[in-house]
Amino acid sequence: MTVNPFETNASVYDQWYDTFPQTFECEVQALRALLPPPGQWVEVGVGTGRFAEQLDIRLGVEPTVGMAALARSRGIDVVQGVAEALPLETASQDAIFFITTLCFVQHLQKAMAEAYRVLRPNGHCLVGLLPLDSELGCAIQDRAKDDPFFKTANLRTKRDVLNALQSAGLVLQDSSQTLFGDPASFESRVPTHDSGHDRGSFVAFRAVKPR
């Protein structure tokens, strides 16, 4: 039987956020720059709830029991499910978030189609990713076979994600980026972000479901 590290080592995964606080804060800032108006928000692949806690997202979808338990300890209401078949009603959400999640999703286009389904008209889809076509993405890919969490990951390029959003009927509105240059320097820098998605190792997209 294959052991799922997200079940057995959820606390180890969660420790990353305390080990690399500057990097985490950079990613949070890049996402905050794109937040839509308040409403019914859900994070898909909520994990241990670190991003949801920081962004005041009160509902999460998570397939693994171990990760979900930690998210619930942070006050997140978590339902079990996967991105390709969301346990959410059609047109029930004002915003749906995928934060460092899409690399663990098997069927990207199905996940985006589900996002479109559960969003209300004029609802927003926010994606935060570590692009394969970035310095950090390349570094993660190079060592993935020795990493218990990333060895089964499928990092996507920015174009992969943009194409999937568009194919699902979602329209890109804005983007932001952070983690510039050598990944070894991220923790020694003051957290900062910029608009666009041409050079960051963490990129965020905000797309809208047209009325």
Q: What is the pLDDT of residue 150?
A: 87
Q: What is the pLDDT of residue 173?
A: 98
Which domains occur in the chain, in start order? 5-208 (3.40.50.150)
Q: What is the pLDDT of residue 2?
A: 60
**pLDDT tens digits for the chain (211 residues)?**
566 878 888 999 999 999 999 999 999 999 999 999 999 999 999 999 999 999 999 999 999 999 999 999 999 999 999 999 999 999 999 999 999 999 999 999 999 999 999 999 999 999 999 999 999 999 888 888 888 888 888 999 999 999 999 999 999 999 999 999 999 999 998 899 999 999 999 999 999 999 9
Q: What is the pLDDT of residue 4?
A: 83
CA 54/CA 22 separation, integer angstroms? 14
pTM comes to 0.96
How far CA 109 is from CA of 74, 160, 161, 174, 188, in Å, comes to 30, 10, 9, 20, 37
CA 138/CA 155 separation, integer angstroms? 9
How far CA 33 is from CA of 41, 44, 53, 129, 192, in Å, comes to 16, 19, 16, 15, 11
Look-up: residue for tokens 């709830």? 49
Q: What is the pLDDT of residue 50?
A: 98
Q: What is the pLDDT of residue 146?
A: 84
